[in-house]
Every structure is written in C-alpha cells, then in structure tokens.
Amino acid sequence: MAFASIFVPNFVVQAVVRSEPGLRDRALALVEGTASIRTVIGVNESAAKAGVRLGMTKSQAQQFGEIELRERSRMQENIAHAALLDLGWSVSPRIEDAAADTIVLDIAGLASLLGSEENIARQLAEGATHLGLITQIATATNLDAAILASRAFAGITVIPAGKESATIGKVPIIALTPSMEILETLERWGVHTCVALAALPVLQLSQRLGQEGVRLHELARARSARSMVLAQPAIYFEEAMELEDAVAEIEPLSFLLGRLLNQLCARLAARSLAASAIRVKFELDLTCIVDIPIIPDCPPDSPSIYERTFCLPVPMGDPKMLLKLLILNLESDAPSAPIVKIFLSAEAARPRVSQGGLFCPISPDPEKVELTVARLAKIVGEANIGSPELLDTHRPEGFRMRRFAPNRDSADARRAVRRPPGDQHPAAAEKVKNEKHCKTALRVFRPALPATVEVRKGCPTWIAFSGVRGQVVAASGPWRSSGDWWREDAWQSDEWDIEIQSSASSNARSLEQIANTGTKGSPPRGIYRVFYDLARKEWFVRGEYD
C-alpha cells in the first residue's frame, strides 16, 4: 500500500493567482464579505511581509500601499480543484477528494511504470506547476499519515514504511482537525504534538474524550485503517475568468482566451485527452454599449449571454491552433457587447492517433485544413464552403454543402495508400468502367438567367439572354421535370438542350467568341440548357455545356 497526498497551501489565494499569473510576484490579499464589511480572508507571502493580516477590513488593508485586493472567487477555486483532480488522474485512477485543497492518490503498483515514490512525487509537483499551482506532496503507506505530512511539511516528503508515527510526531495536534472542545482539553493536558497524543493510553483517552479521542489517537499514531473514498473522474473540463474591466476588442480577448486555452489543454493533456468541441460563453455588459464606439449597432433586446459551440473535425490538443480557430470564428461573429466573464469548456475525447506512411495520398493535415477552412469561411461565408453532397431528389440544385472531411468517410480511406496510376478508387473506377471518352460537363448559371425565346411549333427557334442571342440550330426536348407538388416550392419545367448560332453583329460576348475561335469564317456556336418554368411562364437558361 502506498499513497501520495497533494496539498495546495493557501488554496484560496492560489486559485486567484492561477487565473492571473501576474499577481504571483505582487502582494495580494483576498477579501470577502457583505458590502458593508469586507474582511481579508487570504494573503500571500508578499502581503504578509508587508503587514496585512487575516481579519483586517478592506479599508485597513488598502492602507498598506501597493497591495492588490481581489474578491474571493469560488468559481476559480472550483476550477483549480478540478485541475488538481485532473493532475491526480494523470497518474493514478484511484483518487480520494479529501478536501478542496487536498487530494490523495493510490500509487501502489506504479513503481514499475513511474519509478520510485520520490519520482512520482516529483512528477506530480511538476505537473502542478504546469497547472499553475504550488503544492506540498507527501507519500506514505498510511493514507491519513500522507495527508497529515503533506499539510505539515513543505516540498516533497517521502515517509518510509514503519516510520510514519516518527515522522508526523512533531506535527501539532491542530493539524488533526479536532473539535474546539477536545483541542482545549488536550491543550490543558499539555498535549501539543502528535507524539504526545500517541503516548496517551487509548483506554483512558476513550473514557474521557470518547470515540473522537480514539480517532485522534489513531491518527497521531499513524495507525488509522480506512478505505479510500474514490472520486469519480470528471467528464467535462471548464475554465473561467471574471474580468475587472469589460473587454470589447478582439486583441485583448485573444490574450485572455489563450491563457484559458493553455490551462484547459494542460488539463486535457494530463488526462491524455483532447478536445472534440470547444464551448465558449461570454457574459456581456449591455450597459457599456453606448460608450464603446467600435461595437456595431446593437439592437435593444440583445441577450446578455453570448454562447457558441465549435465542433472540431478531429480531437485537438494544441492551444495555439484552437486559439486561431476561435479568433477566426469570433471575428466573423463577434459578440454585441463588451465581455465581463469568460467561460470556456471542452468536450473531451481520445486524441487522434495517426501514422504517416511513405505511400499515403496527398491530403491536408486535419488540423491545418480546419484552420484553412476557417480562414476561407471568413472571406466567403460559412455557407459557401464545404463539400457538395447530392440529395435524393430530382429537384434542380438538389445538393447541400457539408463539412469538408476528406479521407475520413470510407473504409478504404482508413487504409488509403497512394494508388499507382492504373489503380483507381473502386467507386471512381465503377464510373469510368468501359468508358473511353470523357463526358461533357455543365457550367451552371446561378441564378438562372432569364431569356427571351421565340417558339415555333412548340420548339425554340431564337433566343436572347445576357449578351448572347442567335438562332437555335439544334434542339433536344422538351424534357419535363416536376416534383414536390405537395410543397409550396414545387417545381415544374420543360427543359431543352439547344445549340445557338450567335448572330455576328450582336454583342461583345459573341465577338469575343469570334476572336477566340480558330474558325474565323463561321459564327460562334454554343450549347446551352434552357428551361421553361411552367409556374412562372418564363424562360430561363440553366447553364452551358463547356
């Protein structure tokens, strides 16, 4: 049996400093209370040296010159505690959530993986530093002894087996958290340390102090035997920050988001996880809209919460890449008011594992392509970028745009290798099977171009549209197409494929065709698909065969 206890001294102060690393080297005091009386409930070392004491009022603390005063933040404490738990789970699956500032890990059996107990403790200390916390760590074969030692001794303490009671002997009994009554009784008896308490006979102690005394006696002797109360691993990761001054511009916001993303990704990495989606929530300060000229026109009923979820194509753990994606999306869809609080949460997923190969086909890295697509979407709009997906309909333009995800949809793609020239993808090979000629493609006019058509005996004979006019020298049709009659947007049209011989004296387009064709003697020709909309009773040109 071996346990490691991690204790965060001055936890309330460290929780605030974790969100504002700049305060670490400055004198800091935390205040809490009602509006009328706010008292100091936490100070760091610099503030303590300056003379600030717990229990002082806020106004008294402000007299000490360069003291940073902050409100106590339960939100930051919760987040810091969650980060501490993530650190523990990065090492061991069995964690006890002993207190807000203390967790205990079962490190039995980890020697072959992580080395000696001292190595494990050092690794935990380094991990805590990356998460922005300064910790005291102790290892022992007794769970409560490890907790006591971590709270009593700074740095890393490794208690050899059988030496627990000797090591914690000098720890004051107040560390055992007795009730006030028992504490006063023990102090009256002259019992101030654990070794003194352990020396008392347990029978007489129980007669005078009851079961609580027995419990304290066992703790002092490091002989308490209890099972760990295991904590369940969290399934969500969240970081938050409350701002002193509202932020309205992207540049300072990106700095703050970068800091939160670093912490979030560090916590995910500690659990060997990555983010499959990022959720951003801003609390907005609508009262500041009038004063901030850069905010665009804001309607009067703007919500005070801005919330967006960004789904990632693959789980990502790189904070810089995530920040770029967030900023690109926020620039195209900025919040309507300055921001006073930021909440950032991540949906965890197993990180992507991929192995490159010498013969893999050319495909963009999913993280890079997501960034490229975000940048492209900023220029053309999100609706105008993606992969087309044909719908099961005969409606013209029956397709939709979906997220671009190459080589991730088919089983073949998972084993994709660069095929030799004669070896094609089965689906594509099916299409060109037995085909020796390439096919004519259509260039679509969006929207369809209105046309003026002369019809004789039910067939178009002359047409004019958008700078092209001429005789119809060949026509195929009509091909009637209709559908969705039960809907308001039903369609019904007669389609024609026509060949037009442009008149030589008409327009720039046909003149250009004359200039560009090799056969300068004959007028230019073009083949188009036109349709007669039976509902609107008008002719349109859908596209040209090119």
Partner 1 sequence: MGGPAHFSWPKYHDVAHRLDKYPCLDQNDSLANKKRKSMGAFPAWLDTMARNINAMRSQVESALAGHIPAPFTSGNSNPVETVSAGIPETDGLTGGLPRGGITEICGPSCSGRTSLLMSVLASRTAQDEACAFIDGRDAFDPYSAEETGVRLEQLLWVRCRNIDQALRTTDLALHGGGFGLVVLDLGDIPPEVVRYVPLTVWFRFRRAVEHTPTIFLVLEQEPHAKTCASLVLRMETEAAHWVKTAQDFHGFVRHPHACLFAGSLLRTEMVRSRGQPGSMGWPNRASPAVTLELKYHPIG
Q: How far apart are the first and last CA of the chain?
A: 78
For residue 522, the tally of other CB atoms under 10 A from its CB is: 10
Query: Counting contacts by CB under 8 A, is residue 432 touching partner 1?
Result: yes
**Nearest residue to 40 via CA among 70, 9, 1:** 70
Which parts of 268-319 are beta strand (E)?
274-284, 305-316
Return the structure tokens found at 429: 């090979």
Answer yes or no whether residue 384 interacts with partner 1 by CB under 8 A. Answer: yes
Say which residues have a Cβ less than 8 Å from residue 109's Cβ, sequence separation at least 6: none
| CB nearer partner 1, residue 22 or residue 458 | 458
Q: How many residues bind partner 1 (CB under 8 A)?
A: 79
Least spacing, CB of residue 497 vs partner 1, in Å:
4
Pairing mode, strands 68-71 and 28-33: parallel
Question: Alpha carbon 186 to chain centroid distance?
Answer: 53
d(CA 435, CA 353) in angstroms, rounded, equals 39
Interaction pattern, residues 194-213, with partner 1; x per rule: CB under 8 A = --------------------
Nearer to partner 1, 170 or 431 (CB): 431
100 is an interface residue for partner 1 by CB under 8 A: no
Pick 204 or 384: Cβ nearer partner 1? 384
Is the CB of 66 or the CB of 435 nearer to partner 1? 435
439 binds partner 1 (CB under 8 A): yes
- Nearer CB in complex with partner 1: 39/372: 372
Report if residue 424 touches partner 1, rule: CB under 8 A. yes
Binding segment for partner 1 among 69-77, 302-310, 346-354, 374-382 (CB under 8 A)? 374-382
By CB under 8 A, residue 235 contacts partner 1: no
Gyration radius from the chain CA atoms: 37
Residue closer to partner 1 by CB (options 261, 498) is: 498
Query: Which one, 63 or 410, has the nearer CB to partner 1?
Result: 410
Instruction: Label the pairing between strands 525-533 and 491-502.
Output: antiparallel
Q: What single-letter amino acid sits at 283?
A: E
Residues 449-468, mask of contacts with partner 1 (x by CB under 8 A): --------x-x---------
Q: How far is the CB of 280 from partner 1 (least distance, A)?
A: 24
Question: Site residues for partner 1, window 468-527 (CB under 8 A)?
Answer: 474-477, 479, 481, 497, 499, 509, 512-513, 516-519, 524-527
Residue whose token pair is 């499959």: 276
Of residues 395-414, those binding partner 1 (CB under 8 A): 399, 401, 404-407, 409-410, 412-413
- Tell me the β-bridge partners of 455: 460
Q: For every residue of 77-135, which 3-state class applies, written as one string?
A: HHHHHHHHHHHHHCCCCCEEEEECCEEEEECCCCHHHHCCHHHHHHHHHHHHHHCCCCC
Supply 368's token pair.
């890079």
Least CB distance to partner 1 at residue 522 (A) = 10
Q: Quick one: 188 or 439, whose CB is closer to partner 1? A: 439
Q: Which residues, 113 to 142, sit near partner 1 by CB under 8 A? A: none
In angstroms, the CA 424 to CA 127 distance is 49
Binding of partner 1 by 545 (CB under 8 A): yes
379 binds partner 1 (CB under 8 A): yes
